[in-house]
Amino acid sequence: MNLEPKLTIAVDGYSSCGKSTLAKTLAKELGYLFVDSGAMYRAVTLYFLEHKISISSLQTDSNKELLNTYLDKITINFEKNTDTNSYEVCLNGRNVEKEIRQMDVSLNVSTVSTLKEVRQKLVAIQQELGKNKGVVMDGRDIGTVVFPDAELKIFMTADIDERARRRFKELTDKNIATTLEEVKENLRQRDYDDTHRNESPLLQAKDAIVLDNTILSQKESLEFVLELFVERRV
Ligand code: DC
């Protein structure tokens, strides 16, 4: 396949639809950089939790200066895991890929992602990572805010029971203790929070293509997007 010129590919959608899996395999197939933007919101959340910072208090206007002081102390970057050949998120130089998947982070990340100052900081890093194109980035606002001019935008969705089953398996495979009901409730809450927040809510971009992968295998989802990729490059 002729891979030049490079495109920007945005993959947005609901929690646990397989966005990261699709984005990662697509990036590998195309030799593009893969960026999991949700991991960045999770890393900031982990910082607040580890420093015992009251996340709800950061939502009040009177604490904005304090929030900016904390944000100045946070550095987020990605490092390559040479065993898995994928990029893992680092918080102030420490690889936190496993810690950010814990349930306490999942329970607090939606609130953190409502904070305008957090979003501004992370969007700037995301735009810098994608400035040379050749990137597949997944998240909630990639096609609407981070890269509104992306040449290919995918909006992913899937049935909530199926998503809960997949996420539950993923967590138990990593020995993270939880129940299917807890996972489903967390997904439901995050879907609601993500679509109802004031700052950059999860929205389908006008020019995004919907991919409902409830009954599709990972391979079928990848093929669907690769076909679109080929069309877009003509
Ligand atoms: O993709 P994820 O489930 O790891 O994302 C964690 C949270 O971060 C999710 O509840 C919404 C938020 N998020 C966001 O607001 N914007 C993004 N671009 C990515 C994630």
The predicted model scores a pTM of: 0.93
| Chain segment 75-89, per-residue pLDDT in tens | 999 998 888 778 899
Name the pLDDT band for 139 (thresholds 50, 70, 90). Answer: very high
Mean pLDDT (the chain, rounded)? 94
Topology annotation, domain 8-229: Rossmann fold (3.40.50)
Secondary structure, 3-state, the chain:
CCCCCCCEEEEEECCCCCHHHHHHHHHHHHCCEEEEHHHHHHHHHHHHHHCCCCCHHHHCHHHHHHHHHHHHCCCEEEEEECCCCEEEEEECCEECCCHHHCHHHHHHHHHHCCCHHHHHHHHHHHHHHCCCCCEEEEECCHHHHHCCCCCEEEEEECCHHHHHHHHHHHHHHCCCCCCHHHHHHHHHHHHHHHHHCCCCCCCCCCCCEEEECCCCCHHHHHHHHHHHHHHHHC
Pocket test for ligand 1, best of 17, 41, 121, 154 (most atoms within 8 A of CB): 41
Q: Considering the chain, what percentage of its residues have pLDDT values greater than 70?
A: 98
**Domain extents in the chain:** 8-229
Ligand 1 center from residue 217 Cα (angstroms): 23
